[in-house]
Amino acid sequence: MKDKLVVIVGTNASGKSSLGVELAARFNGEIVSADSRQVYERLDLGSGKITREEMKGVPHHLLDVRKPGEFFSMADFQELAYEAIDGIIARGHVPFLVGGTGLYVDAVADGYVLSNMAPDAELREKLEKYSTPELYEMLKEQDPDTDIEPKNRHRVMRMLEKLAAGDTEPVGKQPRYEILKLGVPWDRETLKNRIDERLDKRLEQGMTQETETLLKEGISEEFMLKLGLEYKYLTRYLKGELAFDQMKEELGNAIKK
């Protein structure tokens, strides 16, 4: 019999973090964060990282496990998540996986069997210059029967790298846990309002200054742009590419997609 894992998913500003805390507190649980940006130290406001006060004493894992600019892959996340979840279960507590980044959630919940092949930095640099649709067309030319989601840029690029290296073994799944998945739904209009309110609040709290400080301390623009959403648009604003109001409008629209 597999161990049990509760998974809580939802869009930006859906309230999944607070729901995770409420349920974990009620059922003697601990939380594993499944967010590709919250693994980094000091990326707090821009990533929507939960605060100590908001945790309400519930243990959280996989926050602040890398320094900004360091490489961190889905395989790295999966390995650390398995370790954290198994530790929670060994303590007799209930593990809650809360996210976040859909691919990270799926890697653990579905038990992706991941290749140990290291990324090809030179090839990755070349691929980064193409749009996601262009990359997907390249993949379809090499693997017409691919079942990778066309909009999943990370997986499309990773498969192109694997094909270039001659690694054609399909990604399998070996689920480790029995999953209870909970979603946090909102009607579209309410969610839009929640996103706008949260964006205003985080800008007032200093999200722009957080981004500026990271850039001034030597975190590369390339890294910040690759983080997407808040850090991407704030970096473009700080570089003078966007006016503040334009940045805020485009960022809000991007979050709502």
Q: pLDDT digit string (tens) for 207-252?
A: 999 999 999 999 999 999 989 999 999 999 999 999 999 999 999 9
Alpha helix (H) residue ranges in 27-152: 52-55, 74-90, 102-109, 121-127, 132-142
Cis peptide before 100 (omega within 30 of 0): yes
Q: Length of the chain in residues, anyone?
A: 257
Tokens of 156: 């499309």
Task: For residue 161, give the 3-state DSSP assignment.
Answer: helix
* Confidence band, pLDDT 50/70/90 cuts, at residue 98: very high
What's the rounded Cα separation, in Å, for the pair 6 and 29? 10
Task: Report the b/e string of 148-161 with b at 16+ CB within 10 A.
Answer: beeeebebbbbbbb
pLDDT of 119: 64
pLDDT at 115 over 70: no
* Interstrand relation of 112-113 and 172-173 (parallel, antiparallel or unpaired): antiparallel
Tell me the pLDDT of the chain averaged across its residues: 92
Average pLDDT estimate for 70-80: 91
pLDDT at 117 over 70: no
pLDDT of 257: 83
* Confidence band, pLDDT 50/70/90 cuts, at residue 120: confident
In this prediction the pTM is 0.83
pLDDT at 184 over 60: yes
pLDDT of 47: 96
